Amino acid sequence: MCLLRIRQQVLQQYRFSSCTDTIFTPYLGHGDAVRVVDAELGTLEREGVSAGSDGTSQPRRRNISRRESNPDAEENDPLIVTTDKGKVRGVTLTSPTGKKVDAWMGIPYAQPPVGALRFRHPRPAERWSGILNATTPPNTCVQIVDTLFGDFPGATMWNPNTNLTEDCLYINVAVPHPRPKNSPVMLWIFGAEENIILVSMQYRVASLGFLYLGTPDAPGNAGLFDQHLALRWVRNNIHRFGGDPTRVTLFGESAGAVSVSMHLLSSLSHDLFQRAILQSGSPTAPWALITRDEAINRTLRLAEAVECPHNRDELSEVLECLRSRDAKQLVNNEWNNLGICEFPFVPVVDGSFLDESPQRAMATGRFKKTDILTGSNTEEGYYFIIYYLTELLRKEEGITVTREEFLKAVRELNPYVNGAVRQAIVFEYTDWTDPDNAHSNRDALDKMVGDYHFTCNVNEFAHRYAEEGNNVYMYLYTHRTKANPWPRWTGVMHGDEINYVFGEPLNPSLTYTDEEKEFSRRIMRYWVNFAKTGNPNPGFVSNLPDWPKHTAHGRQYMELGLNTTYLGRGPRLRQCAFWKKYLPQLMAATSDREQFNQKLHQRWKPIREESKFFNTHNTISHTGNTECQLMTPFLIKSTTIMCFVTVIAIKIYILNSNVK
């Protein structure tokens, strides 16, 4: 079995730390990079890049041994493996608990996407002769480095600390020592504590991975095709490392989970993996996809920002100029006038990888029928609000939000909705037992953002999969690490589960408690059991609490906390009914009303100016001074229809939210 772990921006690799022996642990970065901390490993041969004359990154071949060698010795060396492109040499490392693992890092699965290949779909790696040195982590794909909070560890822990270049399409394999045969393979690192093979890959992100112009040279979704090519590499090569290519499990977190879901939707990938784990991400998330037209607009805005031609009628000139710009200059100029949780360059329905929108595919059942494990964390929103409203939610203890600040924040966090919809959001997330409670107002902002962008989309995805009869297991992650560097009020943030899935608490050099170490073992067992069998439960008598299936009727989930095994329904069914059922109908009703009023205003303007029967100033006031204009008597029938639609929407919302 193979568990393939996908995250945004690139797949995390490994972290090494210096102890009495080399420590092999997963790197848990949220910024998706490779970390190399061990000085001894840092002296080994590794690939670099050199700057070309045009300022772009140019590939430089990884060190390939061509010295005279004994063929018999090579054949018997378990660290030399022959892939379909050539031989690679790995290294034996030691896990925090003393277990051995063989690792091959930086195996190329695609040609370096530089020069004329920038923005294009990837091409398979070329063959090499000799033995490629795969003993050190490869380059990291170019991405934004978080510097907002300086050297604050809660932020910098996600940053890359290997070379950022475009020459980054490499795959990594970690195998238990001694090597198994036909082992389940997980494309993630589990601290070498479970008898599985881990594979991770890096893929292009941001504009370098998802820029779209609708042309062969910039077709969009290049990052998804990178992942697809890596999956093909696994199918063709993992048996050479002792893995079973027929038992591959994909998993990822956040935008990585969205990537996993895109492979579930794309028929191109369906035969390349068996199961999927999605942590805090879904294809129906509002930030997961943009239209082709919007993708072109964002490309043109980026071109303007880096002083390139940006005329829609001159796309070839736009592309030529963008290729000449330094890769880091591009990613550093992408973020212009975007809302919270909006990523500038994301997948599009390109007609190649994706044939239709995720919403339509989910509605019609056109997705891979398989087992999934999915869930979210209790405070999904704070991480993003802190970066978006930095003055309101400062990175310090004791932060609260007044009622006035709450109302202003709701406006800023929901910039694309009309007044009626915004007031509905305020109403839903107000604690009406104490509307001025500054702690409740602060926490309501987290729940508002977390529900809309993460939790409710995860719920929706799980429910649709369950409706089709698939095995679905759902969790709500509720444990806050004792040594968490973020303020206590941030709770269990987006990404907090990653450390425990990776087994980081088992590293004796870190300050996790004994309870947290055991909790991490429990999480890893659940994840690995699922990857092996499609069921997180062990299948034999065990001290692990039984995890029930999530069904379309019962909607069960298990709380993953330090000392709890609570089983619930949902989670947050009422709030998700608000976002997924009631609010879309309210938006449609109010949008139709506004458009109707505008058209009528233009059509009847001469008559209204002369007639005493048209009262265009009869209003009904609502909370926050939002006004519903009623035109009488001529519009009374139309107004009644609009009110009726809204009432029906409210009734549907109530009927679908009677489970708290």
Find the mean pLDDT for residues 513-521: 96
**CATH-assigned architecture of domain 371-573:** 3-Layer(aba) Sandwich (3.40)
339 membership: H or E segment, kind and range: none
Residue percentage of the chain with pLDDT more than 90: 66
CA distances from 432 to 265, 426, 429, 586, 654 (A): 41, 11, 9, 22, 17
Sign of CA dihedral 251, 257, 263, 462: positive
Q: Give residues with Cβ within 8 angstroms of 631, minimum separation 6.
A: 597, 600, 614, 615, 616, 618, 639
Q: Which percentage of the chain shows pLDDT scores above 70?
A: 77
pLDDT at 44: 26
CA 308/CA 299 separation, integer angstroms: 11
Inter-residue contact 93 to 47 (CB < 8 Å): no
pLDDT at 63 (0 to 100): 59
Looking only at the bridges linking them, the beta strands covering 170-176 and 197-201 are: antiparallel
Which residue did the predictor score with more confidence, 610 or 468? 468
Beta-carbon-side half-sphere exposure of residue 521 (alpha carbons within 13 Å): 13
Mean pLDDT on 171-177: 92
Whole-number pLDDT of residue 6: 54
Cα-only R_g, the chain: 26
**What is the DSSP pairing of strand 472-477 with strand 556-560?**
parallel
What does the DSSP 8-state code read for residue 23?
Answer: E
DSSP per-residue codes, 289-316: ---HHHHHHHHHHHHHHTT----TT-HH
Query: Could you tell me the sign of the dihedral formed by the alpha carbons of 237, 239, 240, 241, in that order?
Result: positive
pLDDT band at 23 (very low <50, low <70, confident <90, very high): very low
- 348 φ, ψ to 5°? -130, 160
- Convert 427-489 into a string of H (helix), E (strand) and C (coil): HHCCCCCCCCCHHHHHHHHHHHHHHHHHHHHHHHHHHHHHHCCCCEEEEEECCCCCCCCCCHH
**Residues of each domain in the chain carrying CATH 3.40.50.1820:** 371-573
Mean pLDDT of the chain: 82
Concatenate the DSSP letters of all residues of 113-139 into one string. --GGGTTSPP-BPPP--SEEE--S--P
DSSP structure string for 342-368: --SS-----SSS-SS-HHHHHHHT-S-
Q: Tokens 């300050």 correspond to what residue?
A: 511
CB 212 within 8 A of CB 295: yes
526-575 pLDDT, tens digit per residue, is 999 999 999 999 877 678 889 999 999 999 999 999 988 899 999 999 99
Instruction: Convert 440-477 to b/e letters by CB count within 10 Å (16 or more is b).
Output: bbbbbbbbbbbbbbbbbbbbbbbbbbbeeebbbbbbbb
Per the DSSP assignment, residues forming a β-bridge with 389 are: none
Distance CA 98, CA 410 (A): 50
Q: What is the pTM of this model?
A: 0.82
pLDDT of residue 555: 97
Cα 656 to chain centroid distance, Å, stands at 28
Q: Which residue has the higher pLDDT, 70 or 318?
A: 318
| Span 46-73, pLDDT tens digits | 333 333 434 444 444 455 554 335 566 6
pLDDT band at 11 (very low <50, low <70, confident <90, very high): very low
- Provide the pLDDT for residue 441: 98
Strand partners, 520: none
Tens-place pLDDT, residues 481-492: 999 999 999 999
Torsion, Cα of 67, 73, 77, 82 (10° steps): 60
Nearest-10 Cα torsion for 568, 574, 580, 584: 180
Q: pLDDT per residue over 142-151, tens digit each?
A: 999 888 999 8
Residues in Cβ contact with 196 at an 8 Å cutoff, skipping those fewer than 6 apart: 1, 3, 176, 183, 184, 185, 186, 190, 528, 531, 532
Q: Are 249 and 273 in contact (CB under 8 A)?
A: yes
Residues 6 or more apart in contact with residue 51 via CB below 8 angstroms: 57, 58
Q: Distance (Å, rounded) from C-alpha 36 to C-alpha 138?
A: 10
| Cis preceding linkage at 485, omega within 30 | no
Q: Which two tokens stand for residue 538?
A: 């062990």
Split at pLDDT 50, 70, 90, the class of 180 is confident
Place of tokens 């027929």: 246
Secondary structure of residue 261 in the 3-state scheme: helix
Q: Which residues are catalytic?
A: 254, 380, 494
How far is residue 616 CA from its own chain's centroid?
Answer: 48
